[in-house]
Chain A
C-alpha cells in the first residue's frame, strides 16, 4: 500500500516532515527584506491585518486546562455544509460535527477504538448485544447532561424518514428496526434499542454483525433529545438545532453561523470524552470559512487566510499551486474511494464480457502508471490492492496486482476466452460519468482497441444516472435486464477508509437496485458466504480470513476494475499542531483528536 507522509506522533510535533520548513523561512526572510520599500503602503494596513487575528490573553490562574495559541481557521468547500446539522442526515455538516459533536466511539486508521461519548462498550458472547457506557460528566453545550436516552433518541430518529433521515438502512441489523423503518409516521421505535439507566445503553442485533460498530456507531453523531422533546417529528428538520445552531457535546460549541459564509466555535468548558480528556480543548476557538467556489478556496488558501483546507482530488495544476504555498504544506490523504470501470455481468451486448478472463485481459492491457502520472497529473495512485477494500488485515497477501502492463498476457487471455478479431467491429457500449469526458477515458479506449476490444463511448447524464447505472435498463419489464451499459467509467466505488464495512451494499448478490447498489449484478455465492461469515465474526483475527477469501474472489472475478485510488489533499499551516497521524484528514475520518489541536502564535 502506498504510504503517505508519516509524521511523528509526539504531542506538539509539526504535522509534516522537517527540512523544507527551514528553506521556506529563509526565502521569506530575504524577500521581506527586499520588499521593505514596497511594504510602506502595506504598513498602513498592517495594523488592521495584524489586529484581525485573536490571540489568547495571558494565562489566568487556577485552570486545569488552558487554551493556547491562536484561533484555528479552517476552510471548507460548500458541499456538505448546506444540509443542516441533523446527525441522521447523510450529507450533513462534517466540518462542524468534527468539532462540535460526539459519536459513541470512532476507529483510527489502525483499527484501534477511540472512545468519545462512550467510555466503554461490551459485546455479549453471542455477538448480538452491545452495551455502551456513557461517560460520566458529559454535558451538552447548553449545560444539560448527556444521557443514554439521547443516544437512543438519535438512533431511533435515524430510522425515521419523516424526521429527515436518510441513513435508516444503517440500523436495520437492530432488532425491531425494520418495523420502525417501515412505519412512515415515525411512531415506532426499535425494540432492540434499550435505555438501561442514564449511563447505560443496550442495543440488540438480529444476528452478529461486525459492521454495526464501524458503519453505524462510528458514523453517527449524537443529538440532544431534550431539544426535540414535544416537537412533532415531521418538524425536526425545521428546528434551529437542525438548521442554524447545532447543540452538541463536542469540544467546541457553535456560537455563530452565517449560512454559506462562516461558522464560529468556542471552547466548551464542560467537554468530557471517554478517552479520558476533560476540560476546555486546546485552541481558543475555531472558525470555518465556507467557500462556494473551488477557485475561491484556492485563492483564500494562497492568501494565508486559513490554517487548514481540504481539497478533494485536485487536478495536477491545482496540486502544484497548493504545494507551493508559503507557510503551508500539502499532505496526502489516501482515501479508499476508487475510480473504476465496472462491467455488466448480467446481459452485456457481448456475452464474453461475462468471462472473467476478458475482464482480466482488460486490466493487463492498461498502463496505469501512464494514466496516473502523465494523463491525470499524478493526483491519483495506482492501487496496490485490486479489491473493493484495501486494509491489509482484510485482504489476501496473494492477490494479483495486474500491474505493470502486460499486453501479451492480455491478448492471450482474450484468445483463451474465445475473443476474435472480428469482435472489434462490434463495440461495447461504454458509459462515462461525469458526462464531461475525463482525460483518461479516451486513452483507456485506445489501450483496449490495441488488443481488439472497441468501445462506443456515451455519457451517463446527470438526470438519468441513477437509473442507467444502478437500475434496470428496461424498467417496464418484470425481470432484471441489467444496467444500461456494457462498461461504465464512474467515480466513487470502494470504501472511504479502505475497510470492508459496507461492501455488501455494492457486491452482495441480493443487493441489486432497489435493495442495494450492486450495479454490475455481481452474483457469486462464495463471495456472499465469505463476506457474511466475516461480519458474523467478532474479532479481527476471526474476520480477517473470511474477508481475505472474499478479496481473492473479487480479485479473480473483477466485477469492476479499481483503476486508481483517489488521493485528496489537506493543506495544513506549518503552525498547526496535533498529536495524531494527520495523513488521513478526510472530514469524515475517525480517530482524530480534534480537542488536542491548536495553532502556535505567529
Chain B
C-alpha cells in the first residue's frame, strides 16, 4: 500500500505540471488581458498610463518568461498577487476555501445521506409508486441547471416573501448580513440554508440514481439467490449482502465528488454571492486575472488527484478482494 501511494504521488507531479502549462496557455490564448478588462470606452486612461500598467503587470514579457516566473514563485510557496485587486491570492484562498467547504460540505453531506437512503428505498421498492416519485425527482434534479434552480429558489424563498408579506424569509445572497446583530454562526447558518439546499437537491438526485442502479444490479447477482436459498432472512440478504456490494461503486462516486468540497459550484456561488473558490474563479476569468486562474486551477488539480488517491485507498479497505489481491 505504501509503495502504491508513493507511486501515485510521484506520478502527480508531472500531471500537475502539465495542467499548469495547459491552463496558462489557454488563459493567455483567450481574447483580452487584465488591461482590456479594465478598459472601457470613455474612461480616462491615458495611453502612457496603459503602457505603464502593462509594464507593471509584466504583460510585456514573453509567454514562457511569465510562466517560469509564476512557477518559480510557486515553488517558493508564493501564489502571487491578484492582478487587479493586488491582494494576496494565498490569503484570498485561505479566506474562501472554508466558505466553500462549509457550503459544499453541507450540501454534499445531505446529498450523500439522502441520496443513498432514497436510492436504497427506491431500488428495494422498484416498480412501486414510491419508486416512480423518486425517479421523477431524480430527473428533475439532474435536468434542472443549478443556476436556474438557484434563481427559482431565491425568487420563491427570498423575493416573493418580501414582495408579498414584507418579511425576510431567507436572504437572497451573501454569507452574512453586514448589518446583522445575530450571533455570527446563526447569521451564517441562515445564509447557508438556501444555497446548500439548491446544491443538495441536484446532489441528492445524482447519488440516488447511482445508488439505485448499483443496488438493482447487486440484487440480480448469483450470490443473492444463493443467500436466499440458504434460508437467510430477507433483512440479512438485503443489508448484509446486497448493500455491502452495492455501495462499493457509490464510494467511487462519493470520491469523485470530493473535489467540489474545495473548488465549489461556480455559478451557484456567483448567484448567491457566496464568497467561495468557485465565485473567485468566475471573477478571475472575467477580469483575465491570470495568477488567480492559475492558482485555482492548481488547487483544483491537487484536489482531484488527492480525492482519486483517497478513493482508491478507501476502496481497497472497503473491498477485501482488492485488499487481499
Contacts and interface: CB of A to CB of B under 8 A. Distances in A.
Contact of A259 (B85, B170, B287): B85
A107 interface: no
B158 A293 contact: no
B44 interface: yes
Contacts of B283: 78, 260, 292
Interface in B172-199: 172-182, 186-187, 190
Interface of A: 28, 31-32, 35, 38-39, 42, 45-46, 48-49, 51-54, 71, 73, 78, 82-84, 90-91, 161, 166-169, 237-238, 243, 256, 258-264, 285, 287-293, 295-296, 299-300, 302-305, 325-327, 337, 433, 461-463, 465-466, 469-471, 490-494, 502, 505, 513-517
Contacts of B282: 292
Interface in B29-75: 31-33, 36-50, 52-53
Contacts of A73: 178-179
A261 B31 CA distance: 28
A167 B44 CA distance: 8
A302 B178 contact: no
Interface stretch (B159-167, B245-253, B294-302, B314-322): B159-167
A48 B186 contact: yes
B31 A45 contact: no
A304 B41 contact: no
Contacts of A54: 179-181
A302 B159 contact: yes
Interface in B132-185: 151, 154-155, 158-159, 161-182
A513 B154 CA distance: 48
A313 to B, nearest CB: 12
Contacts of A46: 167
Nearest to B273: A296
Nearest to A325: B163
B115 interface: no
A303 to B, nearest CB: 4
B45 A300 contact: no
Contacts of A243: 85-87
Contact of A49 (B167, B173, B176, B275): B167
Given A53-B179, A285-B179, A238 B45 contact: no
A32 B170 CA distance: 17
A237 B88 CA distance: 13
Given A53-B179, A296-B270, A462-B39, 15 more contacts: A28-B166, A31-B164, A46-B167, A49-B167, A49-B168, A54-B181, A167-B44, A260-B283, A261-B178, A293-B273, A296-B172, A300-B174, A337-B42, A471-B47, A515-B47
A295 B187 CA distance: 23
Nearest to B164: A31
Given A161-B49, A169-B46, A502-B44, A52 B87 contact: no
B291 to A, nearest CB: 14
Contacts of B40: 491-492
Given A31-B164, A35-B165, A465-B36, A494 B42 contact: yes
Contacts of B100: none
Contact of B171 (A35, A83, A260, A305): A305
Closest 5 CB pairs of A and B: A492-B42, A514-B47, A492-B41, A49-B168, A303-B172
A514 B48 CA distance: 7
A168 B49 contact: yes
A260 B276 CA distance: 11
Given A303-B159, A463-B31, A492 B169 contact: no
5 contacts: A83-B84, A84-B85, A258-B275, A299-B158, A490-B41
Contacts of A462: 31-32, 36-37, 39
Contacts of A514: 46-48
A52 B187 contact: yes
B275 A305 contact: no
A296 to B, nearest CB: 5
Interface of B: 31-33, 36-50, 52-53, 84-87, 92, 95, 151, 154-155, 158-159, 161-182, 186-187, 190, 270-273, 275, 279, 282-283, 287
Contacts of A28: 166
Contacts of A38: 165
A243 to B, nearest CB: 6
B162 A302 contact: yes
Contacts of B158: 299, 302-303
A303 B162 contact: yes
Contact of A287 (B37, B84, B170, B178): B178
Nearest to B147: A295
B193 to A, nearest CB: 10
B85 A466 contact: no
Given A78-B283, A84-B86, A287-B179, A31 B44 contact: no
Given A42-B169, A161-B52, A261 B38 contact: no
Interface hub of B41, B168, B180 (most chain A Cβ within 10 A) = B41
Contact of A261 (B181, B186, B275): B275
Most buried by B among A42, A46, A48, A53: A48
Given A83-B84, A90-B45, A291-B273, A304 B175 contact: no
A259 B181 CA distance: 21
Contacts of B32: 462-463
Contacts of A258: 95, 275
Given A166-B45, A261-B174, A303-B168, A466 B161 contact: no
Contacts of B163: 302, 325-326
A38 B156 CA distance: 13
Given A54-B179, A243-B86, A292-B283, A32 B48 contact: no
Q: Determine which residue in A53, A161, A260 has the highest number of CB atoms from chain B within 10 A of its CB, and name it.
A: A260
B165 A42 contact: yes
Contacts of B45: 90, 166
A237 B165 contact: no
A325 B41 CA distance: 32
Contacts of A259: 85, 87, 92
A327 B165 CA distance: 11
Contacts of A52: 168, 177, 179-182, 187
Contacts of A49: 167-169
Nearest to B159: A302
Given A52-B180, A299-B151, A237 B36 contact: no
A260 B179 CA distance: 16
Residue among A49, A73, A167, A469 with most chain B CB within 10 A: A49
B44 A303 contact: no
Contacts of B42: 337, 490-494
Contacts of A469: 41
B145 to A, nearest CB: 14
A469 B46 CA distance: 13
Contacts of A287: 178-179
Nearest to B189: A48
A51 B179 CA distance: 10
Name, among A259, A293, A469, the residue most crowded by chain B CB atoms within 10 Å (CB to CB): A293
A305 B168 contact: yes
Given A71-B179, A259-B87, A433 B162 contact: no
